[in-house]
Amino acid sequence: MKRRDFIKTAGSGSLIMGTVLAGCSNSEQGGVTKAQQTRERHEWKMVTTWPKNFPGLGTGAEFLADLIGKMSDGRIKVKVYGAGELVPAFEIFDAVSQGVAEMGHGAAYYWKGKNAALQFFASVPFGLTGMEMNAWLYHGGGMALWREAYEPFGLVPAAAGNTGVQMGGWFNKEINSVDDLKGLKMRIPGIGGEVLNRAGGTPVNLPGGELFTALQTGAIDATEWVGPYNDLAFGLYQAAKYYYYPGWHEPGTTLECMVNKKAFDDLADDLKSIVLNACRVANQDMLAEYTARNNDALQTLLHKHNVDMRRFPVEVLEKLRSLSEEIVSQLAEQDPLAKRIHDSYHKFGLKVSKWHDISERAYLNARSS
């Protein structure tokens, strides 16, 4: 009776409970350990590169956090922080790596300073679409390479969203030839920024929350963000005259959830599966949302706000594709891991494009004819 009273008084205090369990038989310890596992609780922080609750991106992070909580029956509670609330937007990689937060939601091309090859896991100009990226990651060896690339930083990566094909961006000058790119100051991240640089422009990397002011004040001449759904939310039509397509630089941008490896390893096996599968659901859901929302937003931009939408000239797209191929090939030569990532990505792209030539492309051409 005294022993039971002691346990009741101790409640859930792990130190006292552990002392009591030390005197129990093996069978008693086993039973209580299982009970403890079912009551296992984790309170995590997720830092993001997006403004809090920003449509699609910020809400996608919230969706993921909420899903993990529901799937784990409250055993993992994740609090989401928008860009700058806990750490600056472009410092979330280090924050999660160092354990300041257990999770981060962003895009791998923001961390190219860590290793330029990481950009393959976000988007490659004229590269894989969202559907193709998912195929490469889940069934083409991409995910194993991604985990290997993040291992030295103490991170476990997972795809946790995709924007689909983006728009080419907002410009305060017409782009009629390659010469019009020279001297252009444009917010554009990742490999796309390197392409612009070689075309004579000046790439600028800014978080989303700073784009409108930078464009409106003339600090930059152009910006890409995502597409109509997000561009309308930021009001970018008020700061630039021309809206160009297609988004050659980001044909299917994968967004990521990175998890601190120590925090991940501390989870029970079922919770590890819950986190990874929740990311997979969030990845699929975001792509579906952008597909559903973009055209409605585009029609609002065109017919309510009278946006001047234009297609990039063929000459410009051909030059940008040529420069992109050069840069991507050079990335592969940086180190053995970069070469393996490039070769895997490139070979998968060649393979899947042969199928899409007679499936997706052929069907869309037939539907629009």
Whether the per-residue pLDDT at 5 is higher than 60: the answer is no
Structure tokens given for 255: 């967004």
Q: Are 168 and 113 a contacting pair, CB within 8 Å? A: no
Tell me what percent of the residues of the chain surpass a pLDDT of 70. 90
Half-sphere exposure of 155 (CA within 13 A, CB side): 26
Q: How confident is the model at residue 6 (pLDDT cuts 50, 70, 90)?
A: very low
Stretch (H or E) spanning 103: strand 103-106
112-153 pLDDT, tens digit per residue, is 999 999 999 999 999 999 999 999 999 999 999 999 999 999
Q: In this predicted model, what pLDDT tens digit does every residue of 152-198 receive, in sequence order?
A: 999 999 999 999 999 999 999 999 999 999 999 999 999 999 999 99
**Superfamily assignment of 169-248+304-368 in CATH?**
Periplasmic binding protein-like II (3.40.190.10)
Type of residue at 24: C
Beta bridge partners of 106: 256
The answer, yes or no, to whether the previous bond of 51 is cis (omega within 30 of 0) is: no
Q: What is the pLDDT of residue 40?
A: 85
Residue 19 has pLDDT above 90, yes or no: no
Query: Does residue 369 carry a pLDDT above 90?
Result: no
- Residue 255 backbone phi and psi in degrees, to 5: -95, 150
The residue type of 333 is E
For residues 213 and 264, what is the distance between their CA atoms, to the nearest angstrom?
38
pLDDT over 80 (residue 34) = no
Average pLDDT, the chain: 91
CA distance 331 to 145: 15
* Residues above pLDDT 90, as percent of the chain: 89
Please tell me the CATH code under which domain 43-165+252-291 is placed.
3.40.190.170
Cβ atoms of 239 and 122 within 8 Å: the answer is no
- Tokens linked to 179: 């010469």
Report the C-alpha gap between 286 and 227 in whole angstroms: 13
| Portions of the chain given CATH number 3.40.190.170 | 43-165+252-291
Q: How far apart are CA 104 and CA 94, in angstroms?
A: 10
Checking if the pLDDT of 77 tops 50, the result is yes
pLDDT tens, 290-341?
999 999 999 999 999 999 999 999 999 999 999 999 999 999 999 999 999 9
Helix (H, G, I), strand (E, B) or coil at 78: strand
Q: What is the DSSP string of 78-95?
A: EEEE-TTTSS-GGGHHHH
- Residue 233 binned pLDDT confidence (cut-offs 50, 70, 90): very high
Looking at the chain, which residues constitute the CATH 3.40.190.10 domain(s)?
Answer: 169-248+304-368
- Indicate the pTM of the whole model: 0.88
Going across the sheet that includes 155-162, the strands are 76-81, 42-48, 103-106, 254-260, 155-162
Summarize the confidence of residues 205-211 as an average pLDDT.
94
Q: What is the mean pLDDT of residues 348-358?
A: 97
Query: Mean of the pLDDT values across residues 194-214?
Result: 96
Residue 202: strand pairing partners:
185
Nearby residues of 12 by Cβ (< 8 Å), 6 or more positions away: 39
